[in-house]
Each structure stands twice: as C-alpha cells, then as structure tokens.
Structure 1
Amino acid sequence: MPLHKENILIVDDDIHILELLQRHLTALDFYTFKAVSVKEALTILQSRTIDLLITDLNMPGVDGMQLIKYTSEHFPKLPKLVITGYPSVDGALEAMKSGVVEYLTKPFTKDELKQAIAISLKEKKPKVTKTPRQQNAYGEIIGNSKAIKSVTQIIDRVKDNKATVLINGESGTGKELVARAIHYNGKYASAPFVAVNCGAIPENLLESELFGYVKGAFTGANEDRKGFFQAAHKGTIFLDEIGNASMATQLRLLRVLQEKEVVRVGAQKVEPVDVRIIAATNFNLESRIASQKFREDLFYRLTVVQINVPPLRDRLEDIELLVDKFIFKYGVEYKDKLMPITQEAINILKRHHWPGNIRELENVIQHAVIMSDKQITVDSLPDYLKFTIDFPKETALLPLKAVEKQHILKVLAHTNNNKSEAARILQIDRKTLSQKIK
C-alpha cells in the first residue's frame, strides 16, 4: 500500500540501529526523530506530534516495555512497532497485550520494515463496553461481589428493628448509603431519617444541635429549639464520624441509649425519644478507647450490630457496575445521553488502588464524562491513574567511559548523526569522534 509522510520516533540504545532505521525510513519518505533512551523518547513525545513509535525492548535502565505501557495510556492513539534482537514468546505476548500492533525481529529487511509500518499505521479502534450491565442493587448500594453481599445480608436482618448499628469503613466507601438502605428498606421508611455529621459541627455546638436548647441557655439562644434527636422521633438518626464527638457529648449519647430520653441544653426536664441510632466512623474506636478518646461503655452500646463496609480495592469486580451508575448519572446531567466506555479505560480503573474509594471513582467518572464527546476512552481519564515510569536516580556514580558514551550518543541523536556538528559540540575533532564511536 502507498505510504504517506509521517513523523516516526525510533528508540534504541544502539546508535548503529538508529542510523540504519533512519536511512530506511528516509528512503520511504518519513520524517524521523531518534532517541537513545526512554527518558529522551518521552521528552520528544511531549514536545512533538508523533504518528508512530518504533522501539527496541532491551535497553539499559528503563526498558522499551515500560515505554510501551506508558505510551499506551498517555498516548493511546499512538501506534507502536517493536523491534528486538532477543525475541521471546512471553515478550511478544506482553507487548501485544500492551497495545503493540507489530513485532519485528532483528535482522529484518527494508520490505519487512515497510510492511510492518503500513500495518501499524492503520487506525486501531478501541473496544467499547456496552451499558448497562446486570447488577445486584439494594437501594443506592450496588455490586455483585462477595464483600458487598455480606453487607446487604446484615441490612436485611436489621432493617425492620431498632437495634443500634455501628458502620465501620474508610472515607468514601458509602457508609451513609448503608444507613439509608437500612432505614428506607424497612418498615420505618415513612418515618424521619436525620443525618448528622459529627465532624462538621463545631464541638461547642454539637450538644445543642443534637439535643436542642432552651431560651437563654447560651448567648444567641433567643428561643427554645428542638435538636436532631427530637426531629428523628419514631425514625432513624445517623451519627456520622461519631469518633469526633467530645467526651461530654459521648456521655449524653450514652444516656440517650440507656434511658431513651434527652435533656435540652440549659433545661432540667427530660423528653422521651423513640429513635433508632445508626453511627458510623472511619476511626478504629478500640484504639481511641485505649488512648482515652472514646468511652468504652458507649462503644459497646453502639455495637449491638456492626457492619464493615469494604474499601473499593477489595471489591474491584464491582467497578464496572459503579462506573455504569455514574455514567448514567453524569451522562444524563451533562450530555443528555448515555456514553459507552472502552475496555482499555475499564482496565485502568480496575488496576487503580482507589485510596479515595467510591467517592474518588465517582469524581473520576464525572471528569471523564465532561472531557468526552461520544465515548469515554483512556484519553478521558486523569493522568494520575495511568502508567508511570520510575526513572533511576541520576546520582548513581558511573565509570568515566560510561558517562562519556551516554553523552556522545545523546549528542549524535541531537544532531541526527551529523558527526561534524557533533564533534563541534563535543569540542573534539571528527577523527577522535569516529574512534570513540568504534
């Protein structure tokens, strides 16, 4: 097939191979850029428009496979062609899985190179996953993983009674969704559900917000006011971040649990309350008990039933279902349509550790929907999710000959192997340079 003039980046630590490839590519009417290392290749990729990457696999320091993985995610539309003098089945399979289109073994002919380039430059369309997928939903909680099913099984057992529940889980795992599932899927669903973030209310105001106050109890208390517990009467109060409550507030919570009554701040009269308490924390309350920051008696009152919400990294099989949920939510909100997502993008999402859990995943999909037009691809994902290369520290002490060799190769690549220009930059004569190259 006829070839058009394209920009091709060739990467190899062997200067002779670079020269050979450049001659072949120039004869085929291509523009060429050369790099003797992965680090130099990335500099060129970030500053130039490259249409094809040709790279060796075996290079010192950072090898070509890492370059392939990096470009597959940061430059997903860039086709890749591998050339190697040390072929292996495993290496070829890994390269192909990482997005390499063609694989050439040294030595190769000019015609073989031409054919491989022609194949590589054909457009490669990403695979698209179709939505929606079948899911096991419990209110807003979705997932088919064993970890999330154990949570919904406990919800089934507590939803129709008023046993006190403590929900443990990292930030962003959906603890409030679990609390809402308990309330809204049970027989008390028509009663109030009141959510209180104990960590968001200043400590000096938390008691008055929870239990209410009477006129004149403190400066600014100009009238009697009910608290969250009275507002949740006959229903559920959800105390999020309970580990942040002061010791004084904890003592009053203990009284509510024991006596089923509250006393407003500044009042003497008790008021009965009929309320189910669900608390949640991302702290280890046992360790806070040991450091005398949480009451042991309150802990045992709160843990009639415990639910441990798993972090997202322990339920990666649910990621596709969660992605569908958020694509629907933000696709309709921002684009007025559902957007498909490529399998390559899903693979990156499944590989991430998700320290921010489901909240982080939702933010990523919200970003991706905004940045996409017709479908969500690898290009739509934030860079921090993609493959990174850890380059060796440059402070390593090398022999003088090794340092000299690296520098000469770098200058030759910079000058497109113009030995006269390279000798001028190196401030040596051309004859000396030729001897060093040999």
Structure 2
Amino acid sequence: MSSPKARILLVDDDPDLLRLLSMRLSAAGYQVSAVPSAEAALSHLAVERPQLVLSDVRLPGRDGMALFDEIRTRHPSLPVILLTAHGTIPDAVEATARGVFGYLTKPYEPRELLDKIEQALALTSPAPAAGRADEAWRAELISRSSRMAEVLAEARLIASSDASVLLRGDSGTGKEVLARAIHRASPRAKKPFVAVNCGAIPEALLESELFGHMKGAFTDAVSNHKGLFQAADGGTLLLDEIGDMPPALQVKLLRVLQERAVRPLGSSQSIPVDVRIISATHRDLDAAMAAGQFREDLYWRLNVVTLSLPTLAQRREDIPVLANHFLHKLAAKYGRRLSGFAPEAMKALTTSAWPGNVRQLYNVVEQVCALSTTPLIPLALVQRALRAPGVEVLTYAEAKQRFEREYLVGLLKLTDGNVADAARLAGRNRTEFYRLLQKSELTPGLFKNEAVAASAAPVAEQRRSLDEEG
C-alpha cells in the first residue's frame, strides 16, 4: 500500500453502495468520508482536504463531471476517479481528456479499484522524509521503491568499511549521487570527496589529473601539480566511467591501488595516499574483459562489493516523488511559484519510457519549470518536454563557457598542443589565446604527441625523453 492512511472522499447517492465502499476502503487502511451529493462533497472539501475523490457520475443535482470541473477549479492537483453504471467509451475518453484520473464502469473488480486508487495517490503523496540524523546521509536519494530500498540498505552497510565499491547502472541512474551518499555515511565523511569522469578527459591529461605532475615534467608544466589522488587523501575518490579508462592507465591505477602510493609525472619519488575507491560504470565490464579492453586484475581490485542501480522504468513509483522534489528545488532557481503537476501531467511522466533515467527526468522538470506560466504544470508542457528528452537547460553564460572549452580542446587536439597554430586557426593572437586557455584551465603541453607517448611509457623512458627535449 503506497499510502495506508490517506483520506478519501466518497460521493454516491446509493446509501448501500456508499456503505459497502466505505467498509472496503476502510479495511484497506484508508480514512474514508462519505457524502451523498456533489453539493455535500464541495461543502466537505471546504472544511477538509482529502488526497483523493471517488465519485459516482450519476448524482442528484450536479453530476460527477460537473463536480470534477468544480474540484479542478478549486483544487487543481486533487485526483478524481469517476464510477458509473452507465459508462460508454466516448464518456471515458472525454473524462480522461478533461483531466479525470480514472474512469471505472460498474461492475468492476475490487482489486481494479484499489489499484487505481493506489496509482492516483502515488502521484500526489509527498516524498518520504529523510530528516532524521541517521537518514541524512541519503538525503539526495529520494525514493520509496523496494528495489532502491535494498540498494540503500546495502550501501549503508558497506559505508562503514573501507572496501572498494563498484557501482553498476545505466547512464543517468544516479551512480555519483549514491557514491556521495556512501562517502557521507562513512568514517571518511569529514574528508574530501573527489569525482573524476575517466571517459571525458584525454589520456595524457587524465594521467596528470589523477597522479599529478612535477614542474618541468612536460612543456607548460610551470609548477608542481597535485593529482586527484592527493586531493582526496583521507577521503573518497570516485572513478566514474571506469570502463572507459585507457589500458595504459589501467596498469598505473592498479599499481597505485597495490602500493597505496602515487608517483607524479616527472617524479622519481612515490607519495603515500590513503583513499577509498568507488568506481562506477554503465558498461558491461565482463564483456570488456573478454574483449581485452579491461584488465581482470584491476577488475577484482575495484569489485570488492558491487551495487547495481535500477533504471527509472524499474522504479516507477519513485517518479512522482522525484518529479515533485525536482520541481520544488528548481522553482527556487527560476524564482517561480509552482505548486505541482496537474494529475494528467504527472500521469504522463509516470508512463513515459525514460531512457535517460533520473537525469532525463531532472532535465524535463527543469524545462517545464523554466517555461510554465501557471502554478500548476499542465499536460501540454510535459508532453512538449518529453518530445525533446535530451535537451539540457543551460543559461547562455553556461552554454557559452561549455562551447568555448570544447572548441579549445578540439583545436589543441588538432594541432598537437601547438599554441601558435591553434591561435592562428582561431583567428586570435597568442597572448589572447593563452588567456583563453588559462580561463578554461587547459594545459597545451598535455595535448602534444610526445606527452601522449610519455604517458604510456615507463617512468625511466619518460625521464629520458624529457631529457632529450631539454
């Protein structure tokens, strides 16, 4: 039962049926109020707000559809289910088109009615509170599904250990959010949490980012640089998309995990590090190992404990609570007074395919928040956002910054890190181009062919090639 203490308002002019339904719903755990007419229902709504209205269509005076129209005007987010012994397909189509949540024709199966009630309540009930101190670690993981409850229970258990964790799950399922939650629940919570996407950084740059480099290790290395392992010392390092890590770096990562020490580029000395490793991937690592793309010895180092996150389609009961959570969070960002989703809009969200999982849901909610002109998000706006599921809402400044960095990376790759050539292609002088690189925190030396070769060579060979350069 998704909401065992929810209040339901029953409206029917048949006293026997009203009594029978009241008994059945009370036995199912609901708080039931029963009235014989639409007018009595509206008077009741003025005093007490239920979570659901269940009404017969044929009523004395105002009928069930007229009652629904009045409820929609006064309480737009309140779901209504209509019952009738005179139902026709056109009636049902018209009712659902106007926003009625459900339309059942008598006689109906009791289980069918209870299922429809649970579905309606799931759309409007609030997210489970995570206010207790012992639940604060998972505050960002909004869920009421049993599948996620199992994952979170395991995560809570392993958080207290120092075991390496491998998070599996499709893109957008929330692997980084879960990694942060494990860190918050661990003894390392007061130390740094550092995340790096292994598939989004060029190989030469990734090595320097992970392990650091010494001044003079390559062209443009004008000072010592601490890597992310050192930055995360005492805390947790998330290696996101570990399945995309280049094979040469897999060897070096394995050595770091075995020796619990890093050797920055250009250094002959190892630096001890104390880091808990959480890795994440959407790839099938078993298939990658079989294809020789991922080292088996590294796999077993990383895969001490595995947690698998379900897709959003496998936890549909979480869609309403996630959507409302994102709505309230984003309303503040856009300075909007948004009260929720119209029932038919929420129904569209809960029945969508969601190939992009929670990340796609967030993007859709952000789009409707940015575009809505009414407090209640309408169905049309949700349908419009669902037709463009890959669109990420960025401010103009954010989009410009992202494009500029990607453009500069492309030029440096094309020219092997030659600033003069890259500046010429960009139509900028070298001084201005260097300023752009500094703004985007890009080091041209790491894009040179010799830097890539050095990153895959043994340390002794790296020193030799650097001496030859000098």
In the superposition, the TM-score normalised over structure 1's length comes to 0.59
Aligned to 1:210: 210
Aligned to 1:301: 301
**Structure-2 change in CA distance of 1:257 and 1:346 (3 Å):** same
Mapped partners of 1:128, 1:266: distance in 2: 58
1:99 to 97, 100, 123: 97
Once the two structures are superposed, the pairs formed by residues 308-387 of structure 1 within 5 Å of their partners are 308-372=308-372, 373-383=374-384, 385=386
Mapped partners of 1:321, 1:164: distance in 2: 31
Is the 2:169–2:281 contact (alpha carbons within 8 Å) kept by the matching residues of 1?
yes
Identity of paired residues, percent?
42
Please tell me whether residue 134 in structure 1 is matched to residue 128 in structure 2: yes
Deviations 1:244-284 (A, max 9, x none): 11111111111122121111112221111110000111111
Is the 1:230–1:273 contact (alpha carbons within 8 Å) kept by the matching residues of 2?
yes
Mapped partners of 1:131, 1:150: distance in 2: 21
Which residue type is aligned with residue 316 of structure 1?
Answer: R
Which residue type is aligned with residue 361 of structure 1?
Answer: L
Is the 1:129–1:343 contact (alpha carbons within 8 Å) kept by the matching residues of 2?
yes
Mapped partners of 2:308, 2:213: distance in 1: 34
Question: Could you tell me how far 1:381 is from its partner in structure 2?
Answer: 1.2
CA RMSD of aligned residues (A): 2.5
Mapped partners of 1:208, 1:358: distance in 2: 32
The answer to which structure has the higher helix fraction is 2
Is the 2:326–2:362 contact (alpha carbons within 8 Å) kept by the matching residues of 1?
yes
Question: Could you tell me how far 1:90 is from its partner in structure 2?
Answer: 7.0
Mapped partners of 2:284, 2:376: distance in 1: 41
Question: Could you tell me how far 1:188 is from its partner in structure 2?
Answer: 1.3
Once the two structures are superposed, the pairs formed by residues 221-232 of structure 1 within 5 Å of their partners are 221-232=221-232
How many pairs are equivalent? 275
Three-state SS of the structure 1 residue aligned to 2:330 is helix
Once the two structures are superposed, the pairs formed by residues 10-25 of structure 1 within 5 Å of their partners are none
Question: Could you tell me how far 1:287 is from its partner in structure 2?
Answer: 0.8
Mapped partners of 1:128, 1:337: distance in 2: 23
Mapped partners of 1:186, 1:292: distance in 2: 34
Three-state SS of the structure 1 residue aligned to 2:219 is coil
Is the 1:173–1:311 contact (alpha carbons within 8 Å) kept by the matching residues of 2?
yes
Question: Could you tell me how far 1:337 is from its partner in structure 2?
Answer: 3.0
Structure 1 unpaired stretches of 5+: 1-87, 102-126, 387-438
Deviations 1:189-216 (A, max 9, x none): 1001111111121111111110011122
Mapped partners of 1:325, 1:225: distance in 2: 40
Is the 1:172–1:356 contact (alpha carbons within 8 Å) kept by the matching residues of 2?
yes
**Structure-2 change in CA distance of 1:317 and 1:129 (3 Å):** closer
Deviations 1:39-83 (A, max 9, x none): xxxxxxxxxxxxxxxxxxxxxxxxxxxxxxxxxxxxxxxxxxxxx
Aligned to 2:37: none
Mapped partners of 2:265, 2:218: distance in 1: 9
Once the two structures are superposed, the pairs formed by residues 378-417 of structure 1 within 5 Å of their partners are 378-383=379-384, 385=386
Three-state SS of the structure 2 residue aligned to 1:381 is helix
Aligned to 1:33: none
Which residue type is aligned with residue 381 of structure 1?
Answer: V
Mapped partners of 1:168, 1:231: distance in 2: 25
Mapped partners of 1:203, 1:133: distance in 2: 42
Once the two structures are superposed, the pairs formed by residues 42-53 of structure 1 within 5 Å of their partners are none
Is the 1:131–1:340 contact (alpha carbons within 8 Å) kept by the matching residues of 2?
no
Mapped partners of 2:282, 2:303: distance in 1: 14
Question: Could you tell me how far 1:147 is from its partner in structure 2?
Answer: 1.4
In the superposition, the TM-score normalised over structure 2's length comes to 0.55
Three-state SS of the structure 2 residue aligned to 1:172 is coil
**Structure-2 change in CA distance of 1:100 and 1:221 (3 Å):** closer
Which residue type is aligned with residue 377 of structure 2?
Answer: I
Which residue type is aligned with residue 321 of structure 1?
Answer: V
Which residue type is aligned with residue 93 of structure 2?
Answer: A
Question: Which of the pair has more CA radius of gyration?
Answer: 1
Which residue type is aligned with residue 183 of structure 1?
Answer: H
Once the two structures are superposed, the pairs formed by residues 209-288 of structure 1 within 5 Å of their partners are 209-288=209-288
